[in-house]
Structure 1
Amino acid sequence: MDKKKSVGKMKRRRDDLYCVVCEGSASCHNFGQISCHSCKEFFRRNARTSLEKLKCVNGETNCQIRFDMKSKCQRCRLIKCFQSGMRKDHLSTPEEKLSKQKRIEENRSIRLTKVNHENTSSILTDIDQFCLLQISNAYQTSIESIPSASSVISFDLLANKALSFTTVTEIDKISAMKLINFIRLIPEFESLNEEDRITLVKSNLVTLLIVRDLLLFDRQHQIVYDDNIHMTKQSEREKFAQCVKSLCILFYGYEEMQIYFSCLSNIIDIFDKDPLIIQLLLIILLFERGLSINNEQISILFDGKRIFDVYSQYVELLFRYLIHRSSFTKAICKMLHIVESIFQIHNHAQRYQQLFQSKNDYYFIDPLLKSLFQIK
């Protein structure tokens, strides 16, 4: 009740205000005096205009200025504005207007950022946070689960080009085993029956090997580092990666390796150097069905619905994580780019498999790689 009385008093006070220039109804102070909206805008437009440029309608500079007059003498109206106490020094200069507009935009940006932060800070549930932490820990555990290639393959062996086939396949085998160890730490994967687990690994692991390289790829030097956490000297890591690159060129061909590095270069920026996005993508592609490079095996999955549900679960988790990192709109754009990159990765996985199958030294290939690359 008291609030209504207060609002009523405020309205009456405003109704009691009259413009000092035209005596019309006014609501507030403008440029130092109480004025109506019309006189306020008139003064804003003309305050800096020289009086010499304005001519009096009757030539006597004493025209009556009232709110109910259709036409008012501009010279006399401006003079009355000044005489009534309106001040042109209260006008903003173009520089001040620009500065004010800039501050408004900055404040708006700050408010939007704050709103986005408030909206995205709660997008990840406690379960999501725990799941992401488990994924990160699982990948780190898998890296340390077996010795890295740089720990078991000497530089002398890398320099022996006659053994390039054996060395490259050994490196691929170590990478594949680490990925399998990572996959086995994913609870949803371990809950599947054995036949489905084997099918998913055989169908998708070649694709995962390419995604894993994104975590270790150096676009500037066009090399893929080894994941040996104990090799701390950058010069040694780079030397080993360059040697492996030379062997891969010898094994797969220079042109094929250029195509591969170009593929990695084109899509690596999508992931913003965030390993968790790539680790999530590893899991998503593990449970993916329709785009597998071995679709004939996907059709014999025993629990296809369960696998699709897990796939959808991790896709949604990735999307929420992307929103958490930026905003809803940016997350949508990022997801579209990721989908596009998945097609590129699958295409190169098919190419990679065909190249591997074209080699004749099957006798030296490890049984695990024979199974992954469908070599009989």
Structure 2
Amino acid sequence: MDLAILTELSELNPKNDQIFKRALDSPHHGRPKQVKLSKKSLDLDCTICGDHAIGFNYDVLSCASCKAFFRRNANQSLEKLRCLTGHGKCSVAHDSHRKCPRCRLDRCLNAGMRKDFIRTEEEKQRRKQRLEENRSISLKRSSISESTNSSLTSPPAHVVPKSESHTESFDDIDRLLMDMNKDDNNIFHESDDLNEIEDMLFGTLPIDDWLTIENVRSIFVSNFQNNQPQSNDNNNNNDDVTDHDSALVVWSHWASKIGLQLINFFGQIDEFEKLNDEDRFLLVKFNMFSLFPIFKCYIYKTADEYYLSEKNKREEGHCRPLQACSSRERIHENFQNIMLSLFPMTEQDPVLFSLIMLIFIFSQGLAMNENQPPLKDELVVHRAQNHYIKLLWNYLINKKGETYTYKYFNELLLIIFRIQIVSNESREYFRKQFIASNAMDKMAPLMQTFLNIS
């Protein structure tokens, strides 16, 4: 993706889509290549003893032996574990004939191994009981599914038109997901080997997953950490907001700057760059608008900071030209509610931000636009999205545990529904406002692509 070509979009051009396609399809001239981690380039030795590491155990790259040692001894009193030499500097290398348990435990703790990742016997018993209960639930569901299988093949009495489904209220979505939570709140993956499940789900992230996650995180941070739009949303052009048209123009340039940053980020992701040229263009054109609330959440850091910024803008009157419309006020209120939901879910974690954004950009039909052309290679896009969904799942399992991850994905699904509705409404609102205004010649041309203004 050549950002030099994208600069042409800073000037009005009736063929913005064509310029945009050229930018997405061009090679990466003039842009530093992101250094990609690999198994060969990364030191995969155990942090504790130097033996071959099997993955991240209890938050530290370690071998199977040190993982088992820490699980057995992490909660031991340090006073009871005495150093063999009394100096506290014993070698704990993997080829040592006898390893000092005190020095080995000290090495584990100093390396960052976390005691809170180890389950107590009570937690293990509760988990075992839940697994048994879930087996019973699964058997009941299986019998119910078989008994109702014939009814599922009968034609529905009423099919809701696609246009009506787009206007489904937030309350209906909430009720739907609350029902899901009632049924699935304590559902866990089943396995006959409980110990294997515990090891897999709590404390270990496969090295391949970690390498990919670290690559994505570093790309995200390098693009956004020191190069963000100003938190006032208007890119320091508030003095130019004097009426409705000028407010639209300032907003379009702020949104265009975010769009360019996001395009640069996606352009450094292998799965995105390998897509069909036309598919890359369609995904960015129709999905970019839905990414704005996620990016704003990263800019503001906390809900308090967001509220303070909104309060200052109201007091200074910068948003007044756009607040006269009741439709805009409703969209803004729904947008705020989405932001409040995103703050606790993202935790200002670059990994969560980057993975969620990638899941969004690879989504087919996210814009709910019936005029969106079909993708050339839907299967490749589907596989790319599934890859990052799996990474997000594994990352959360390793970081928070399984119960939290199930609830997180339910909440994420709800937020996706909300973002779809609000993004669709706001896209139409701004599109109509620009078409009806006298500001088309000053509008950021990239936004003409995102708003589908020809």
TM-score range for the pair, normalised by the shorter chain length: 0.5 to 0.7
Q: State the match for 1:134 in structure 2.
A: 215
Q: State the match for 1:305 in structure 2.
A: 379
| 2:285 corresponds to 1:202 | yes
AA in 1 matched with 2:395: Y
Deviation at 1:345, TM superposition (A): 0.8
Structure 2 length as normaliser, TM-score?
0.50
| CA distance 1:201–1:340, shift in 2 (3 Å) | same
Q: Distance in 1 between matches of 2:404 and 2:228?
A: 39
Q: State the match for 1:154 in structure 2.
A: 236
Contact 1:203-1:297 at 8 Å conserved across structures: yes
| CA distance 1:336–1:161, shift in 2 (3 Å) | same
| CA distance 1:147–1:332, shift in 2 (3 Å) | closer
Q: Distance in 2 between matches of 1:342 and 1:169?
A: 23
| 2:307 corresponds to 1:220 | no
Contact 1:291-1:346 at 8 Å conserved across structures: yes
Q: Alignment partner of 2:452: what SS?
A: coil
Q: State the match for 1:363 in structure 2.
A: 441
Q: State the match for 1:179 in structure 2.
A: 262
| CA distance 1:153–1:341, shift in 2 (3 Å) | closer
Contact 2:247-2:319 at 8 Å conserved across structures: no
AA in 1 matched with 2:215: Q
Output aligned runs, 1:1-376, within 5 Å.
108-109=122-123, 118-120=199-201, 123-143=204-224, 148-149=229-230, 153-154=235-236, 157=239, 160-161=242-243, 163-217=246-300, 218-220=302-304, 222-223=306-307, 249=323, 253-299=328-374, 301-359=375-433, 360-361=436-437, 362-376=440-454
For residues 128-183 of structure 1, the C-alpha deviation after alignment (integer angstroms, 9 at most, x for no partner) is 11211121222222226867347994366266456322211111111111111111
More helix by share: 1
| CA distance 1:277–1:247, shift in 2 (3 Å) | farther
Larger radius of gyration: 1
AA in 1 matched with 2:352: I
Q: Distance in 2 between matches of 1:275 and 1:248?
A: 32
Unpaired runs of 5+ residues, structure 2, are 1-118, 128-194
AA in 2 matched with 1:259: N
Q: Distance in 2 between matches of 1:303 and 1:269?
A: 35
For residues 195-226 of structure 1, the C-alpha deviation after alignment (integer angstroms, 9 at most, x for no partner) is 1110110110011112222223443354497x
Q: Distance in 2 between matches of 1:286 and 1:186?
A: 11
Q: Distance in 1 between matches of 2:220 and 2:305?
A: 25
AA in 1 matched with 2:303: R
Q: Alignment partner of 1:358: what SS?
A: helix
For residues 269-323 of structure 1, the C-alpha deviation after alignment (integer angstroms, 9 at most, x for no partner) is 3334434223211101111114333354251x11111111111111111111111
AA in 1 matched with 2:446: L
Q: Distance in 2 between matches of 1:256 and 1:124?
A: 40
AA in 2 matched with 1:108: E
Contact 1:211-1:345 at 8 Å conserved across structures: no
For residues 68-89 of structure 1, the C-alpha deviation after alignment (integer angstroms, 9 at most, x for no partner) is xxxxxxxxxxxxxxxxxxxxxx
For residues 219-247 of structure 1, the C-alpha deviation after alignment (integer angstroms, 9 at most, x for no partner) is 3354497xxxxxxxxxxx99689866667
Contact 1:120-1:324 at 8 Å conserved across structures: yes
| CA distance 1:357–1:331, shift in 2 (3 Å) | same
Q: Distance in 1 between matches of 2:426 and 2:347?
A: 25
Q: Percent identity?
A: 18
| CA distance 1:303–1:253, shift in 2 (3 Å) | closer
Q: Distance in 2 between matches of 1:325 and 1:155?
A: 41
Structure 1 length as normaliser, TM-score?
0.59
Q: Which moved more, 1:148-157 or 1:212-221?
A: 148-157
Q: Distance in 2 between matches of 1:280 and 1:203?
A: 19
Q: Alignment partner of 1:220: what SS?
A: helix
Deviation at 1:263, TM superposition (A): 2.6
Q: Which moved more, 1:290-299 or 1:303-312?
A: 290-299
Q: Distance in 1 between matches of 2:405 and 2:315?
A: 36
| CA distance 1:156–1:290, shift in 2 (3 Å) | closer
Unpaired runs of 5+ residues, structure 1, are 1-104, 226-236
Deviation at 1:126, TM superposition (A): 1.5
* RMSD after superposition: 3.5
Q: Distance in 2 between matches of 1:145 and 1:184?
A: 18
Contact 1:121-1:324 at 8 Å conserved across structures: yes
The number of aligned residues is 259
| CA distance 1:284–1:154, shift in 2 (3 Å) | closer
Contact 1:164-1:247 at 8 Å conserved across structures: yes
